[in-house]
């Protein structure tokens, strides 16, 4: 038992000596490290330069006027006069400015009225009075402005040329279409060499027609004008001629009767206008009932362009606006006209409205149902205050721009817009002539603005 006790005492003594040696070695190494740091500091320290302050060895924005250790026991590093190390450290902590609040170092929308650390142990950054302006402006550093390519352009008066591009088709002018039909039972004795698609002139013979009703009226008229007592039967003579006119007998046929003083067996029917035969239903030897369409002739010297315009553009159209029409079948050629009708209905399937443009077609190259594309000038020749379209941030309900106030400050402003064209947009309210608006990288400024607004909202909620 004594031997065992002695052995335990011996082993305990040896273990204590080992621990003492290890502790002494660690203390010696710490002293050596401290001596090396001191030697290095004394070697780097100029003899004629004065220590301004001591900075945190981990680079945190914390300084001390006297030597100090951080929470891990590391010595603060001396900063001498003339060194630029203090600019970034001390600029954010002026002695004559009051701290408003502390913001999250990672940019999260979280603030604190007192010093605080985030879950990673990083200190919240102090925000001083004057740094967080209350005018709604956003402030960026010169470096960030240069890296992101923020550019501004002043608002200035410009002439905006705006065009509406819309498709359409060529249609016949309803006022220039004629139908040839009989007003009494008739028989078609002879048809001229005219077919569908033929061009005819006014007064050109189309067919010869025999009609009992026309022959009876013609006989009465001839007997009247052959009577010796024309003076007393003048009124009756006018009535007989009117009967022929009511039967739609051509004037040339009536004049021929007056000259020949005879009743023709068949009456020559002529074209009432210049145009193209769109429909021929007349057949030689056929009987024509009253109202049957025998010929349909349309004048193509003037046509309509029926244009389908998107519903959103209808408010910018007005009667009398000039338009240019291009036919897909004739590339490089244009036809000009003016809007003379805006139809008062919207196609509920396509959500488009219709307008009508009258076009002259002197060489008859345009034909009905032809596809065309119209360009309608909705701009004004008077200059208006305008800014580039890239400057506008449109949320759907609001439109805003950033005005460059100088020194890295950008003020958001809501604007009211007008016509667009040539890459510019009219500004009716929100900015004045000469105000520089941001035209590039404005979404970066918008992101900064949203972050700043969130931080300010948290700060206002945290402060009493």
Instruction: Show the tokens assigned to 277.
Output: 């035969």
Query: What architecture is domain 163-173+300-377?
Result: Beta Barrel (2.40)
pLDDT value for 37: 46
Q: Quote the percentage of the chain above a pLDDT of 70.
A: 73
Query: Is the predicted pLDDT of residue 106 greater than 70, yes or no?
Result: no
pLDDT value for 35: 44
pLDDT value for 114: 86
Low-confidence winner among 136-145, 268-277, 372-381 (lowest mean pLDDT): 136-145
The rounded distance, in Å, linking the Cα atoms of 233 and 235 is 5
pLDDT value for 246: 92
Q: Which of 74-88, 91-105, 343-357, 431-445 has the highest mean pLDDT?
A: 343-357
Query: Is the predicted pLDDT of residue 11 greater than 60, yes or no?
Result: no
Mean pLDDT of 211-237: 76
Low-confidence winner among 26-30, 156-160, 162-166, 394-398 (lowest mean pLDDT): 26-30
Mean pLDDT of 203-211: 94
Low-confidence winner among 98-102, 127-131, 233-237, 420-424 (lowest mean pLDDT): 233-237
Query: Is the predicted pLDDT of residue 355 greater than 50, yes or no?
Result: yes
What is the DSSP annotation of 364-394?
----TT-EEEEEEE---SS-EEEEEGGG-EE
> What is the CA angle 338-344-348, rounded to 5?
115
Tell me the pLDDT band of 344, cut-offs 50, 70 and 90. very high
pLDDT value for 100: 77
Tell me the pLDDT band of 17, cut-offs 50, 70 and 90. very low
Q: Which are the contacts of 420, defined by CB distance < 8 A and separation ≥ 6?
A: 160, 162, 389, 426
Query: Is the predicted pLDDT of residue 191 greater than 90, yes or no?
Result: yes
> What does CATH list as the number for 138-160+382-462?
2.40.420.20
Interval 270-323: pLDDT, tens: 999 999 999 999 999 999 999 999 999 999 999 999 999 999 889 889 999 999
Q: What 3-state class would DSSP assign to 25? A: helix
Across-strand partners of 429? Answer: 416
Give residue for tokens 């950054």.
Answer: 125
Instruction: Show the tokens assigned to 268.
Output: 């020559």
Interval 284-293: pLDDT, tens: 999 999 999 9
Average pLDDT, the chain: 78
Higher pLDDT, 103 or 96: 103
CA 94 to chain centre: 48
Q: Quote the percentage of the chain above a pLDDT of 90.
A: 33
* Domain boundaries of the chain, sorted by first residue: 1-41, 45-83, 92-132, 138-160+382-462, 163-173+300-377, 183-286
Tell me the pLDDT band of 373, cut-offs 50, 70 and 90. very high
Mean pLDDT of 346-357: 93
């Amino acid at each position: 038992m004594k031997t065992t006790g002695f052995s335990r005492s011996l082993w305990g003594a040896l273990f204590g000596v080992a621990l003492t040696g290890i502790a002494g070695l660690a203390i010696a190494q710490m002293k050596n490290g401290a001596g090396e740091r001191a030697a290095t500091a004394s070697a780097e320290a100029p003899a004629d330069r004065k220590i301004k302050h001591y900075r945190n060895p981990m680079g945190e924005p914390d300084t001390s006027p006297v030597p100090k250790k951080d929470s891990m026991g590391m010595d603060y590093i001396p900063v001498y006069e003339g060194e630029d190390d203090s600019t970034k450290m001390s600029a954010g902590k002026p002695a004559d400015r009051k701290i408003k609040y502390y913001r999250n170092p990672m940019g999260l929308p979280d603030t604190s009225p007192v010093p605080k650390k985030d879950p990673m142990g990083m200190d919240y950054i102090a925000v001083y009075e004057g740094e967080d302006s209350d005018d709604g402006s956003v402030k960026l550093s010169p470096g960030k402005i240069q890296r992101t390519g923020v550019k501004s352009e002043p608002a200035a008066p410009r002439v905006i040329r705006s065009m509406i591009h819309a498709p359409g088709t060529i249609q016949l002018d309803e006022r220039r279409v004629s139908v040839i039909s009989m007003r009494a039972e008739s028989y078609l004795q002879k048809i001229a060499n005219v077919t569908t698609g033929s061009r005819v002139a006014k007064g050109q013979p189309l067919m010869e027609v025999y009609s009992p009703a026309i022959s009876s009226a013609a006989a009465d008229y001839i007997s009247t004008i052959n009577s010796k007592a024309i003076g007393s039967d003048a009124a009756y003579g006018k009535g007989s001629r009117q009967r022929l006119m009511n039967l739609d007998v051509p004037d040339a046929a009536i004049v021929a009767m007056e000259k020949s003083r005879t009743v023709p067996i068949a009456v020559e029917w002529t074209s009432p206008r210049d145009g193209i035969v769109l429909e021929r239903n007349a057949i030689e030897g056929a009987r024509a009932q009253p109202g049957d369409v025998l010929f349909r002739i349309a004048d193509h010297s003037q046509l309509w362009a029926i244009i389908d315009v998107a519903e959103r553009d209808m408010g910018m159209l007005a009667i009398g606006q000039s338009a240019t029409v291009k036919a897909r079948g004739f590339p490089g050629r244009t036809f000009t006209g003016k809007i003379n009708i805006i139809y008062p209905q919207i196609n509920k399937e396509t959500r488009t409205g219709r307008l009508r443009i009258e076009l002259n077609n002197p060489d008859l190259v345009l034909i009905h149902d032809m596809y065309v594309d119209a360009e309608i000038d909705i701009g004004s020749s008077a200059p208006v205050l305008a800014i580039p379209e890239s400057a506008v941030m449109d949320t759907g309900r609001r439109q805003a721009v950033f005005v460059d106030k100088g020194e890295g400050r950008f003020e958001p402003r809501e604007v009211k817009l007008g016509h667009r064209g040539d890459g510019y947009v009219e500004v009716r309210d929100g900015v004045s002539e000469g105000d520089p608006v941001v035209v590039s990288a404005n979404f970066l400024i918008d992101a900064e603005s949203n972050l700043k607004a969130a931080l300010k909202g948290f700060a206002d909620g945290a402060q009493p």
